[in-house]
């Protein structure tokens, strides 16, 4: 444990110094009449006080080991190993049971090894996720628990997926504020203190009705009208501040609407583009909650996950900014339905407009300008609308046939 040498000295450092002094006072009471320890006491007192007084910092060779039941495995190693002694980063993914976490963990485990990627969440994982690799309980609002996980598991990359999405956030603003903002602050402090590479996704929701919509550039006015969007703008700016102030290696991508066959719709405004495939296969009928001409940028999940990995691996000197737009395609509900009907002509589509979701969608970009990502670190998407539709129907149709057979 090194006292007084960390470059990052956030607001929690003062609290820790105060705690040290209280512990020292109690210690003095216990050892005051023990002559064997008086000399050691004087030496230790000078070391502790010098760490908090602004004088020349001193290094104390103390090794603290925590045997927490929250460790990933019962046989986890606690000895100190530098990141430079390993071949791969050690990755922690918060909010890992959401739409993106499981897929990213699968991709990173193939790349870096199964035990080098830890999924975390506050929910109980399904059996196939639990047995696929390391999983740990982690509440991002519990700073001490999150810090313990990072330290004990020697984390070097942190992917922060914990967040309440747009429509869900509007239904519970207080919870969205806690998860999306307070949780972010905990992650930023821990990442800066321990020198992590931190990825925090942003969103098309980080823009508002006064932003240019077609196309929307990386740098422009951002005045979102949802707590989700506000929290993501806050994350972008705080991440850049920590990068410039503390040297934090912060990275972010503004995701468009993400479409995946592996998860059910989760309360986002763009989730109609996932629901249509499930309903088409199960019932042959789909009711859309957005107007047929509502154009939004979209992306298949494989492109999204690959962009995330490429961004995290990009050399620092190639990054001209810390937050980038990425895009693949842009379509309306009507255009998506027509493409699906080419494969399933019997699909019936109706519209029942959700005014909350429609208002959100009307304030978002219609198309993303992602030229900076393509120029700086070589971003290029693989899936356009026809490939997206064919892939989704293949996956969901196969799953439906298996379920029916079972």
Please say whether the beta carbons of 127 and 102 come within 8 A.
no
Cα angle for residues 176, 181, 185 (degrees, 5° grid): 150
The token pair at 352 is: 């029942």
Report whether the peptide linkage leading into residue 199 is cis, meaning its omega lies within 30 degrees of zero.
no
The token pair at 163 is: 């967040």
Strands 296-300 and 329-331: antiparallel
Question: CB count, 10 Å around CB of 210?
Answer: 13
Please say whether the beta carbons of 218 and 39 come within 8 A.
no
Phi/psi of residue 296, each to 5°? Answer: -140, 150
- Quote the DSSP letter at residue 72: S
Q: How far is 189 from 77, CA to CA, in rounded Å?
A: 25
Beta bridge partners of 288: 351
3-state SS, residue 323: strand
The answer to whether residue 228 is catalytic is yes
Annotated catalytic residue, options 137, 143, 161, 228:
228
Phi/psi of residue 374, each to 5°? Answer: -70, -35
Which residues are designated catalytic?
228
């Amino acid at each position: 444990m090194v006292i007084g040498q960390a470059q990052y000295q956030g607001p929690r450092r003062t609290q820790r110094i105060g705690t040290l002094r209280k512990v020292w006072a109690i210690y003095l009471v216990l050892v005051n009449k023990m002559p064997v320890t008086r000399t050691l006491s004087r030496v230790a007192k000078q070391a502790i006080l010098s760490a908090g007084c602004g004088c020349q910092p001193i290094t104390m060779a103390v090794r603290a080991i925590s045997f927490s039941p929250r460790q990933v495995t019962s046989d986890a190693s606690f000895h100190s190993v530098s990141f430079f002694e390993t071949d791969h980063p050690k990755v922690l993914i918060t909010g890992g049971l959401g739409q993106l976490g499981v897929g990213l963990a699968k991709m990173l485990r193939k790349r870096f090894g199964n035990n080098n990627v830890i999924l975390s969440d506050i929910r109980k994982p399904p059996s196939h996720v639990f047995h696929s690799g390391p999983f740990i309980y982690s509440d991002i609002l519990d700073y001490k628990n999150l810090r313990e996980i990072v330290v004990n598991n020697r984390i070097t990359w942190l992917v922060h997926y914990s967040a309440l999405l747009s429509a869900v956030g509007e239904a519970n603003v207080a919870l969205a504020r806690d998860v999306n903002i307070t949780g972010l602050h905990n992650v930023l402090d821990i990442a800066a203190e321990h020198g992590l590479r931190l990825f925090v996704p942003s969103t098309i929701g980080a823009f508002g009705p006064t932003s240019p919509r077609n196309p929307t550039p990386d740098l422009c006015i951002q005045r979102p009208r949802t707590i989700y969007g506000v929290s993501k703008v806050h994350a972008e700016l705080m991440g850049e501040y920590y990068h410039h102030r503390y040297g934090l290696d912060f990275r972010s991508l503004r995701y468009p609407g993400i479409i995946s066959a592996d998860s059910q719709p989760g309360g986002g405004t763009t989730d109609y583009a996932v629901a249509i495939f499930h309903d088409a296969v199960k019932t042959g009928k789909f009711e859309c909650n957005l107007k047929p001409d509502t154009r939004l940028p979209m992306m298949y999940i494989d492109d999204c996950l690959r962009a995330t990995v490429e961004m995290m691996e990009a050399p620092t000197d190639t990054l001209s900014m810390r937050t980038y737009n990425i895009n693949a395609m842009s379509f309306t509900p009507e255009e998506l339905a027509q493409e699906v009907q080419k494969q399933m002509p019997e699909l019936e589509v109706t519209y029942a407009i959700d005014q909350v979701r429609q208002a959100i969608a009307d304030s978002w970009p219609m198309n993303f300008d992602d030229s900076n990502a393509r120029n700086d670190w070589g971003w290029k998407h693989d899936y356009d609308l026809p490939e997206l539709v064919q892939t989704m129907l293949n996956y969901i149709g196969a799953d439906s046939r298996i379920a029916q057979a079972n």
